[in-house]
Structures are given as C-alpha cells and as structure tokens.
Amino acid sequence: MPQASEPKLISGNANRPLAEAIARRMSMHRGQSVGLLDARVERFNDMEIFVEVYENVRGEDMFIIQPTSNPANDNLMELLIMADALKRSSAARTTAVIPYFGYARQDRRTKARTPISAKLVANLISQSGIERVLTMDLHAAQIQGFFDVPVDNLYASPVFALDIMHQFKGRLDKVTVVSPDVGGVARARELAQRIGCALAIVDKRREKAGEVAEMTVIGDVKGQTCLIVDDMCDTAGTLCKAADVLIENGAKEVHAYTTHGVMSGPAVGRITNSQLKSVVITDTIQPTKPVRDAANIRIVPTAPIFAQAILNIWNGTSVSSLFSHETLSAIYEGMY
C-alpha cells in the first residue's frame, strides 16, 4: 500500500555520484523530482564526523545511501551518525542503502583468536536506529542473519546477464562462465544458468591473504571465451592469475565480471597489463580516475536497480522481483 509521505534520500560522502544517479532514476520513475536531502556531513579539525540535516524529516521514510568502502571506518561512522541524526529527528523509518558492505570478508572465525567483524558491524548498524538494510552481493549470504533487522540483498548477476547477452550476442555457445575459486561456484553457476552457458572452476590454493600459490582449471575451456565471475576485485591478483591459467589451458579470450571494484594498490596496473580483455565492474564503490581511465575496465550502473528497489520498499511491494533479468530488461531499457 503506497505511503502518505514521500521517500527521502540522504547521502554521505562515500559515493555521492551514485546517490545522485539513484535520485535521478527515482524522479524519472515517479514523474516528479526526487532530490537528496539538504544536509552536511563534514569533519571537525580533529577528523570527528559532524552531521546536520537542514530539512524536516519528522514522520518521513528515509533512505541513507552510503557504501562502507575505503576508507571503511570513516564511511561506516558517517552511516551510523546519519542514522542517529535521523532517529533523533523523529524520522518514521530509516533504511540503510549500503551498495558495498565493508568487513564482509570477516564473516567467520578462520583461526583462533580472530574476530567476526561482519557481525560486529551488523550489531552497530542494528543499534543505530536503522530499521532495514538494502545491499548488493554480500560476500557471504549468511551475513543477512547477522542483522536483527530485515536485509534485502540484491544481485548483480541479472544486470551482468543483460550485459553478457548484449556483448556476446550470437556467440554464447562459445562462452564459459568461470568461478575463480570453489567458494564462488554457486554465484558462477547461477549466472551460467541465466545465460545458458557452460561452467568451469579455477581451484586456487592460497598460502596467505593477498597471495595465490597455485591454480588449476576444473573443466574444459579450450577454444572458449571465458567469463570470470566474482563478487569483488581487490588487488586483482586472483583475477589476473586466473586469466593466465585459463589462457594456458586453451581459452580463446578471458573477460571478468565483478560486482565491487575495490581496486586497491596495484589492481589497475595489473589489469591493464594482464591477459584480461575486459573487466566489468559496477559503481557500488565510487571508481577512482585511474579506474575510469583504464582501457580494459568497464563500469555498469547500479542506480536503476537500486532506485527501483527503494521504490518497492517504500511502496511495500516485492524486492525479489528484481532478481530476474527479464524484469530488469525494462528497467535497463535503452542501455542494452
């Protein structure tokens, strides 16, 4: 049932271009202007965060758009402080739109005396006054259960499926979707089923974090166009080495589709000088200038799917309808 109040958006400093794009898409869908709330999110001289909201939000349905990407701690604190400001201003409901959820890689205890940081962050968010979370491609699906509030986890695979069917039209029979590790098989299989392609796996043995010791290919990739699918690209070491291994095993060409372009340290240089013909990322994390300028990195927008998801939450209608690339084809009409 439609709400009496209007959906209102507020953005931190983590990815304001995405927030503005979401507002534009919502304006187009609703046929009336939807803008970002007039507010300031600034720093004191000692780098403490200060938030001030200039508009009345009493009784309003609020959506905070703020990925917790690098610098993760600053962006997380901005999110929490904005949530507190809205709660103390009597907002009716506050939804955190977190396109990229930081600390998601620390979702379990892999060794003795280590934290489960994803659970700690979930607790902080749940206690800050946020009543719902909207995110995309959590590193581990079980993180949804860490929250004491409802979580809607969108998937990039329907958007990637549209892009792949457009980019590789007429030669999908020669395309193989590749998981860069055993843990990502479910994600790769789901995309392969969407586009009707074969599946292969790169088995990697990691000596320590950030380093890959050994890789072997499970499946036949000879003469195939390989699409490596992953949820994030950090230093790009895994992607680039996987591309090398696939080429060594007879792949014709290698592309990569990764949701979150973290792109730390040497990532852009590695991708530019690698055997990857293209790397497709989304804008859940605001891309830096080197990422935007890289010849073989392409960015697909997430504003259309996030704008529709926000409207569905506000209207009290299904968000899971956005899990289908057939549904998204109308939302992304004109792009593919």
Q: Which residues are annotated as a binding site for ATP?
A: 46-48, 105-106
Q: Which residues contact 229 (CB under 8 A, 6 or more apart)?
A: 157, 160, 177, 178, 179, 180, 184, 187, 188, 191, 256, 257, 258
Least confident among 64-68, 146-150, 208-212, 287-291: 208-212
Longest dimension (CA), the chain: 61
Judge whether residue 323 has pLDDT over 50: yes
Q: Which residues are annotated as a binding site for D-ribose 5-phosphate?
A: 206, 230, 234-238
CATH class name, domain 157-300: alpha beta
Judge whether residue 151 has pLDDT over 50: yes
Judge whether residue 2 has pLDDT over 60: no
Please name the fold of domain 7-155+303-331: Rossmann fold (3.40.50)
**Cross-strand partners of 254:** 226, 276
Per cent of the chain over pLDDT 70 is 96
Q: 132-145: string of b/e by CB count within 10 Å (b at 16+)?
A: bbbbbbbbeeebee
Task: Give the whole-angstrom CA distance, residue 124 versus residue 96.
Answer: 12
Q: pTM of the predicted model, to two decimals? A: 0.94
104, 27, 120, 14: which is closest to 67 by C-alpha?
14
Q: Which residues are annotated as a binding site for Mg(2+)?
A: 139, 181
Taking residues 173-185, what's their average pLDDT?
93
Confidence of residue 225 (pLDDT cuts 50, 70, 90): very high
Classified as helix, coil or strand, 46 is coil
**Strand arrangement of the beta sheet that strand 7-11 belongs to:** 7-11, 61-65, 93-98, 132-136, 151-154
Q: Where are the domains of the chain?
A: 7-155+303-331, 157-300
Q: What is the amino acid identity at position 286?
A: Q
Task: Give the whole-angstrom CA distance, residue 87 versus residue 107.
Answer: 28
The question of whether 169 is a catalytic residue gets the answer no
Same fold, 7-155+303-331 and 157-300: yes
Q: Which tens digit of pLDDT belongs to each residue from 39-68?
A: 999 999 999 999 999 999 999 999 999 999
Say if strands 61-65 and 151-154 run parallel, antiparallel, or are unpaired: unpaired
Instruction: Look at residue 207 in the predicted model and tell me its pLDDT.
Output: 60
Taking residues 177-206, what's their average pLDDT?
91
223, 225, 230: which is closest to 202 by C-alpha?
230
Q: What length does the chain have? A: 336
Confidence of residue 96 (pLDDT cuts 50, 70, 90): very high
Say if strands 297-300 and 276-282 run parallel, antiparallel, or are unpaired: parallel
Catalytic hit among 87, 174, 204, 208: 204
